[in-house]
Amino acid sequence: MHITLIGAGPRGLLLLSRLLSWQPIRYPKRRLNIVLVDPYPIGGRVWKINQDPNLIMNTAASQITLFTDQSVTDVGPFITGPDLSTWALTIAAGYLDAHPELDNRAILLRQAASLGPNSYASRALYGVYQRWFFDLLRAQAGQNTITYKQQTVTRLDQKNPGFTITTDQESWQTDQVVMALGNLKNSLTRDQKALHDYAKAHKLFYLEPGFPEEGDLSNIEPQAPVIVRGLGLSFFDLMSRLTEGRGGRFQKTADGLLAYHPSGREPHIFAGSRRGFPYRAKGHNQKGPGEEWQPQFLTPEQINAWQARGEVSGQTFWDALKHEAELIYYRLLLPQRYPDIDETAFEHDFLADPVATLGTLPIAAKDRLDWDVLADPTKAHPSGQPYQDFMRHYLRQDAREAMRGTKTGPLTSALEVLRDMRDPIRQFVERGLFSQDQYLDFFLRWFNSLNDFLSIGPPALRIDQLQALIGAGIVTILPPGMQIKGIDGQFLLKTPSDPKFSLQAKALLEARVPAVNAPTAQDPLVQQLLHDGYAHPYELQLNADKRFQSGAIAVDRQTQQLLDANEQPQAGLFFWGVPTEGVHWLTTASPRPLVNDVSLKTAEQIVKAIFAGTGS
C-alpha cells in the first residue's frame, strides 16, 4: 500500500510512527510505501534547526513527546521513548556529535546539556528531536520503505483507485493521503494591505503577519522607534530578536527578577494590542509525567448528562470551568493565608454549592479570585499612576506568581486548571453541545480569546525579561486599543486613552501568525482543493437563516476525513492540523505524554481508518 503524508512536522511524524507500529498486525504480508513530503526539512517550518537559538517553546520540556503511550484511548502496539527533556539529557549529545553538519551545533549541545524537565527548550532543539525521531523510525521500518521529499505539493487529484499527488517537481500515484498542515500564510486583509502599500510607497518597513523568526529585521536602526502590533507569543520572539539578539543581556538582581543591560543596538519598541496586555506567564511546572488536576464539575458524567438534555449555554459551561479553577485556588490559598478556616469543610461545601460557599467565605476582597480583573487588568490600574509603572508592576507580579508553581501557587495553579481541562472543554466542541450561535459568539469569539490570554502564554522568563526591558526604557507598552495609520510619510501611532500621545516610526511589525482562513490561504494545494470541490470551509448555521464561514477546512470530526463540497467524507483522504481550527479546538498544542493527548489519539484514529478493510 502506498501512503502519502503531506507535512513533516510533529503530526506527520506521529502518523508515520503509528503506521509503522500497526503494519505488522494490520498489514503483515505486504509492505508500506510511505512518502513524507514538505517544502521544509523534517520538523517543518516552525521547528527549523537553523533558526535563532534564543527562540524558545512555551511548554515545559517534560510535557512534550512524539511517542504514543499506554494512556491513549484504545491504543494499539507502540514503542516507548523519551520525552524531550529525557532525550536532551541522554541521547541528544551523541546524536548531535554524529551530525557535525547541523547549524548551531555547539549551541544546541549546550542547550541539551542544561535542559531540565521543567525548563523550556529552544524551538531549534525540538527540531533536532524531531529529526532524531524520524531517523529512528527509518531504522525501524523493516520491510517498509520511507521516502522523504522536500517539495511543495501543488495539487491532488482523485483517481480510481487512489490519488495523484503533484508537487513543484514531480507527480506520483498513492492509495491514501493524510494532510497534516500547520499555519498557512494568508493574503493580506484590507487594513494590512493598506499599511503594506503605504510602506512600499514611502520606503518604510512593514513586517506582515507570519512566522516571527523569518522576518529580516536588520534594517531596523538602533534606538529608532519601531511599532509592534500584537502582544501574544509572536511578540516575545520579536522582542528577543531585537534585544538579546542584538547583544543585550539580562542579569538577575537582588530581588530575584531580571535587569537588562543594553548593547546600544536595540530599537525603542512601542507595542500594544486590543487587550493591551501580554499573555499571562506560564507557571513553573511542578507536575510529574501524566499528572493533571482532575475535573470535579466538568466530569464525564456531567458532560454526558448535559448532552442528554440537549444544548448547553455558554454561561453554564463557563460557570463550571470557573468552579474548577476556584476550587484549586482556594484549596491552596486557605492553608497559606487563612489557616483557621477548615479546608476540608470548605471543599465539601464548595462542591455542593460553589456560589453560596464563596459568598460566605470569610476572606479579604484582595484575596478573592477576581475574574473581571484577570480578564481586564486595567481595572486594577490605580488612578494617576503612570501607565508604564503600572504595567511593569503588573508584569513583575505576574512573573513572581508564575514562579510559585503549578501545584503550590494558588493563582498559577488555578490558571493551570484551564490547561488540564482541555479534554473536557474539547468535548463541548466535538459533541456539538453549544448551539451554533453560542459556539460562534461565546466560544470562538469570547472564550477562545480569554483562554489564550490566561493559559497559553510564554514562560515566566519572557515576562520577567519584558518588565526588565520596560525598566531599561527599551520597551513601551501601549494601553488597550492602539491605532496605526500612515501619515506624513511615516506610521503614526496613537492610543484612545491618551489623546496627547502620538508617535511616528518607519517600521511596523505585525506580531502574529497568520489566522486560520482557508479562502485566503496562499497555499496552492489548499486553493486547488477548494476550487475543485475536494474541500470547503466549515460553516455555522446561525439563527435567522444566517450562515457564518469560519475559515476552517471542514472535516468529519470522528474520522478526520476531508469533506467535499457536498459535505461528504472522502475515502482515503484525511486532513488534520491547524487549518481545521474551528471544527476542532486548540490544534496548535504539542503532544503531551501520559495524559491521553488529543494529538496522539487523533494519529491513532487516522491510522486505524487507513488500515480498515485493507486485509492482509
384: left (phi over 0), alpha (psi -120 to 50) or beta: left
pTM > 0.85: yes
CA end-to-end distance (rounded Å), the chain: 11
pLDDT at 20: 97
Q: Which stretches in the chain have pLDDT values below 50?
A: 615-616
Element at 410 (helix H, strand E): helix 410-420
DSSP state of 296: S
Fill in the amino acid letter for 152.
Answer: T
Compute the CA torsion angle 368, 371, 372, 377 (nearest 10 deg). 90
Q: What is the distance between the alpha carbons of residues 161 and 147, in angstroms, rounded to a whole number?
A: 22
Q: What is the distance between the alpha carbons of residues 96 and 522, in angstroms, rounded to a whole number?
A: 35
Element at 385 (helix H, strand E): none
Beta strands in 120-267 (DSSP E): 145-149, 153-158, 163-167, 171-174, 176-181, 205-207, 225-229, 249-252, 258-261
Rounded to 5 degrees, what are φ and ψ at 94? -65, -40
pLDDT at 613: 60
Fill in the amino acid letter for 610.
Answer: I
Q: Does the structural domain 188-273+457-508 have CATH classification 3.20.20.210? A: no
pLDDT at 498: 86
List, by residue range, all CATH 3.50.50.60 domains of the chain: 1-183+513-611, 188-273+457-508
Residue 209: C-alpha distances to residues 123, 193, 246, 268, 489 (Å): 19, 11, 22, 20, 22
Match 526591558 to its residue by C-alpha cell: 469
> Grid coordinates standing for 371?
475574574
> Grid coordinates standing for 239?
522582542
Give the three-state DSSP class for 304: helix
Give the three-state DSSP class for 478: coil
Alpha helices in 150-251 (DSSP H): 190-202, 233-242
Fill in the amino acid letter for 231.
Answer: L
Name beta bridge partners: 414.
Answer: none
Tell which residue, 304, 547, 566, 576, has the closest CA to residue 437.
547
Q: Provide the CATH number for the domain formed by 1-183+513-611 in this structure.
A: 3.50.50.60
Give the three-state DSSP class for 452: helix
Count Cα neighbours of 366 within 13 Å in the Cβ-side half-sphere: 1
Instruction: Quick: pLDDT tens for 545-584.
Output: 899 999 999 999 999 999 999 999 999 999 999 999 999 9
